[in-house]
Amino acid sequence: MVDAWLPYGKTEVCARIPTRNSLGSIEPKEKAGVEDATAEIKRALNEPIGTARLKEIAKAGDTVAIVVDDATRATPSYLMLGPLLDELNEAGVNDQDITVIFGCGMHRPVTEQEKQELLGKEALERIKAVSHDHNAEDQVFLGETSYGTKVSVNKVFADANVKILAGDVNLHYYAGYGGGRKGVLPAVASKESIQQNHALLLSAKATTGNLEENPVHDDMTQAAKMAKVDFILNIVTNSKNELVKAFAGDLEQAFLEGTKLVDEMYKVPLEKRANIVVVSAGGHPFDINLFQASKALYNALDAVKRNGVIILVAECAEGHGNDVFFEWMNKFTELRHVEREIKRHFVMGGHKAYYLLKALNKVNIILVSVMPDYYAVNTFKLRTSKAMNDAMLDAFELAGKNAKVWVMPHGNVTLPVFQSTEQDETD
């Protein structure tokens, strides 16, 4: 037997796979974290790509807004904030003129405890930190993109003399990649702006790891340019959330350099698809709810044969995580109905129903979680198992005793890329 350990909440579970069935593990091409994360971030700030140094951009008397990720991301913002504050202080900017904005998009606000965890107690004592509210009435309208998206953003951000985006570059299932321009749209944008942008995800080019002719990415970039972002600091981490490299400078150039490293680490060429893929959402906080955990499910799709089985290992301690996702999965049973609704009136959260139904059209999905079966089965149309071994038995029952199995321990950050051959998908 092959024992495969997979992150689950703040612990791990073990999948036991007969040796003859195992194809192995699909994992990132890991790079070690740097020994001194602060030194690496300072290096990036000292060597900006495509811009002057931040301390040459900012000056005494300026108000500064720094957008960071919210609690649904594992981004170690505390690593970036200290060096950013030091650089701004060198330019003569006072701490009281600096505001950190948690780029919540349409997620819930960050709690006081989460603020400390995300930024660190010392930094939090120095500067103001607020959560973006996508429903706020005082947002500033910046204009309209070529895709028709009306761009309105957080007033504190819009009014700042210097605008900085701090985040991590990673794979994203319809924007292509996280990081860079996403620090404006959706992070600090209005509900309407986010909904109009995300409705573009129906495009065949809006896929994981793709920026070319991707309308979601193009639209986000136009919005960030309208916002006149002055400087970004983006990092790439390994699956242990250790800093591998930092990229600072121009909104587009620094971000694109980050995507090259992400490709190198997280795109995994695959010559053979499996009948069964066991995928973990990556543990806490990536599996805090089904809304977040389902990203790993989409990443796993290219590794499994049609009519195969995906076992999604995700604790989902907070349940489904989004009311619209829940409502749309109750309301719509067919993918074409969701597509029609997205075109007519996109509502944030509905896109998750689209992707889940799209996945269910290709494969059987077994969820290993603490979510009540009543919701997981009846609403989200998933098979369920409370124990990993029961899920494996169910999967072999569906796929056959000779089924081949891939394991993806870090499905949230790993993208198998199937290399097309003449292999028969029905084998």
CATH number for the domain that contains residue 57: 3.40.50.11440
Q: Which of 312, 272, 244, 246 is nearest to 29 (CA)?
A: 244
In total, how many domains does the chain have? 2
Query: What pLDDT is recorded for position 106?
Result: 83
Range of the domain at 11: 2-28+267-418
**Which of 237, 253, 284 is where one domain is finished?**
237
Tell me the HSE value of 90 on the side-chain side, using a 13 A CA sphere: 14
Torsion from C-alpha of 352, 302, 175, 98, nearest 10 degrees? 90
Whether residue 191 is found in the same domain as residue 334: no
Whether residue 133 is found in the same domain as residue 233: yes
| pLDDT per position as a tens digit, 378-416 | 999 999 998 999 999 999 999 999 999 999 999 988 999
Query: What pLDDT is recorded for position 100?
Result: 97
Task: Name the amino acid, one letter, at 410.
Answer: H
State mean pLDDT over 157-179.
96
424 pLDDT higher than 70: no
State mean pLDDT over 264-286.
95
- Is there a domain that residue 103 lies in? yes
Provide the pLDDT confidence category of residue 426 given band limits of 50, 70 and 90.
very low
Whether residue 229 is found in the same domain as residue 116: yes
12 pLDDT higher than 50: yes
State mean pLDDT over 178-203.
95
425 pLDDT higher than 60: no
In 76-196, beta strands by DSSP E: 98-103, 128-131, 140-144, 150-153, 162-168, 170-172, 176-178
Whether residue 224 is found in the same domain as residue 279: no
Whether residue 69 is found in the same domain as residue 136: yes
Give the pTM: 0.85
Whether residue 7 is found in the same domain as residue 53: no
311 pLDDT higher than 60: yes
- Is there a domain that residue 255 lies in? no
Whether residue 55 is found in the same domain as residue 17: no
Whether residue 45 is found in the same domain as residue 127: yes
70 pLDDT higher than 90: no
| pLDDT per position as a tens digit, 108-132 | 899 999 999 999 888 999 999 999 9
- The whole-angstrom separation of Cα 219 and Cα 213 is 11
* Residue 110 DSSP class: P
Query: What pLDDT is recorded for position 173?
Result: 87
Provide the pLDDT confidence category of residue 421 given band limits of 50, 70 and 90.
low
Q: Which of 35, 119, 130 is nearest to 84 (CA)?
A: 119
- Is there a domain that residue 95 lies in? yes
- Is there a domain that residue 426 lies in? no
- Is there a domain that residue 424 lies in? no
31 pLDDT higher than 70: yes
Whether residue 299 is found in the same domain as residue 402: yes
> Is the Cβ–Cβ distance between 20 and 405 less than 8 Å?
no
Write out the two tokens for 320: 């489904």
Query: What pLDDT is recorded for position 345?
Result: 83
Q: What is the CATH number of the domain that holds 364?
A: 3.90.226.30
| pLDDT per position as a tens digit, 153-164 | 999 999 999 999
- Is there a domain that residue 262 lies in? no
- Is there a domain that residue 258 lies in? no
- The whole-angstrom separation of Cα 17 and Cα 304 is 16
Whether residue 195 is found in the same domain as residue 291: no
Query: What pLDDT is recorded for position 285?
Result: 87
Q: Which of 421, 416, 415, 392 is nearest to 405 (CA)?
A: 392
Average pLDDT, the chain: 94
Q: What is the DSSP string of 21-89?
A: GEEEE------PPPS-HHHHHHHHHHS-BSS--HHHH--TT--EEEEEE-TTS---HHHHHHHHHHHHH
State mean pLDDT over 325-339.
94
Query: What pLDDT is recorded for position 343?
Result: 85
